[in-house]
Amino acid sequence: MKVMTVKRAGEGNIIGWAFAMPALLGLFVFNLGPMLLSGYYSLCDYSILGTPKWAGLKNYINLLNGSMGNFWIAAKVTALYAVMAVPANLAFAFMIALLLNRDMKGRAVFRSIFYLPCILPAVASSFVWILLMNPDFGLFNTLLEWLHLPTSYFFWGKDSVLPSIVFMGIWGTGSTQVIFLAGLQDIPRVYYEALQIDGGNAWHKFLNITLPMISPTLFFNLVMGMIGALQVFGQAYIITEGGPNNASLFYVYELWRQAFKYMDMGVASAMAWLLFFVVLLLTLLVFKTSKKWVYYEGGDER
């Protein structure tokens, strides 16, 4: 009987590994394998059309001392964008989630409308924004003129291109809104009722219940938003091509140019690994500080 049980357990393990094999193969072939290969390429002089030649830390040194491409310009632009975009996206998504969490007619319709931009193709939505922000005949400048306010060059202005891209990104925060909404709906209503009995007003409810209870969701959205902001690419590729005058030369766009425009895969791989370590360090920093502002039900620190 024991032998039969062991035999069936062994057969079950084989079947389990067989079902897991496609996912494991995908992990090694499409994720882990290319990562390790790019780590090797980052230590080589490697053009796509040539053969990798070992160069040690040459690519990293050239990038960090500013002698290779526009590394520091791209890093500065991306950092500035992240500082503007992450708080703006979180604040807007949280505000909309608060509104969509209220009891009102047509709530499901409004939720669908605010989520809709997330499922639109990036190229199509980018061209819509190009038309809206066209400095000559765009709707935004038309409205500004009608209100007797100064017009803007938007994507075509050195000082206005990043705020314009940030504003465009706010429009597509539907996924963040849904996550915030799920966190808000998970807050027990009894807490609000107890505070109301004690004489608390709407501000007391928000400050003492909503914010602490939503802090794990805020923490998750902060980490994901920060990672996404440091990897922004589509806007520069589709709309600005890094211009004007490198004002929207995002890091990943510069990485793409090094790899596929200048055919320097070694430098591009080094840039990718530098970005990986920066994202890793920032994520660890956020996790370290989360103990001071993230609260879990029951008071347990995680």
220 has a pLDDT exceeding 90: yes
Contact 70, 281 (CB under 8 A): no
pTM: 0.87
Assess contact for 77 and 250: CB atoms under 8 A: yes
Q: Is the CA virtual torsion 249, 250, 252, 253 positive or negative?
A: negative
**Does residue 3 surpass a pLDDT of 60?**
no
% of the chain residues with pLDDT over 70: 94
Q: 10 Å Cβ neighbour count for 299?
A: 6
pLDDT of residue 117: 86
> 219 vs 199, which has greater pLDDT?
219
* Higher pLDDT among residues 96 and 20, named by residue: 96
CA–CA gap between residue 98 and residue 108 (Å, rounded): 14
Rounded average pLDDT over 197-216? 86
Q: What number of other Cβ atoms are within 10 A of residue 257's Cβ?
A: 20
pLDDT in tens, 56-91: 899 999 999 987 778 999 999 999 999 999 999 999
Q: Pairing relation of β-strands 44-45 and 53-54?
A: antiparallel
- Looking at the chain, the whole-number percentage of residues with pLDDT higher than 90 is 49
DSSP 61-76: HHHHTT-STTHHHHHH
State mean pLDDT over 128-139.
91
Q: How far apart are CA 24 and CA 40, in angstroms?
A: 22
Q: What is the pLDDT of residue 167?
A: 93
Rounded-to-integer distance, Cα 126 and Cα 250, Å: 16
Residue 223 pLDDT level (bands cut at 50, 70, 90): very high
Q: Which two tokens stand for residue 145?
A: 């003129």
Residue 43 has pLDDT above 70, yes or no: yes
Tell me what pLDDT residue 297 has: 67
How many Å apart are CA 82 and CA 233, to the nearest integer?
Answer: 12
Alpha-carbon torsion 23, 276, 292, 206, what sign?
Answer: negative
Alpha helices in the chain (DSSP H): 2-27, 33-41, 58-64, 71-100, 107-115, 122-132, 139-146, 161-170, 174-185, 189-197, 202-205, 211-230, 234-235, 251-256, 265-289
Q: How confident is the model at residue 2 (pLDDT cuts 50, 70, 90)?
A: very low
The Cα–Cα gap between 19 and 252 comes to 35
Q: What is the DSSP letter of 269?
A: H
pLDDT, position 199: 81
**Measured CA distances, 218 to 95, 169, 211, 282 (Å):** 12, 18, 9, 16
Average pLDDT, the chain: 88
pLDDT score, position 226:
95
For residues 298 and 271, the model is more confident at 271
User: Looking at residues 255-272, what average pLDDT do you find?
Assistant: 92
